[in-house]
Amino acid sequence: MNFVWENIVISIIIIAIIVVAVWGIIRSIVKSLRK
Give the model's pLDDT for residue 1: 65
Which helix (H) or strand (E) is 35 found in, with range? none
pTM more than 0.85: no
Handedness of CA 19, 25, 29, 35 (dihedral sign): positive
Handedness of CA 14, 20, 23, 24 (dihedral sign): negative
Give the model's pLDDT for residue 35: 77
Give the model's pLDDT for residue 26: 98
Q: How far is CA 26 from CA 7, 13, 18, 22, 32, in A?
A: 28, 20, 12, 6, 10
pLDDT per position as a tens digit, 1-35 = 678 999 999 999 999 999 999 999 999 999 999 97
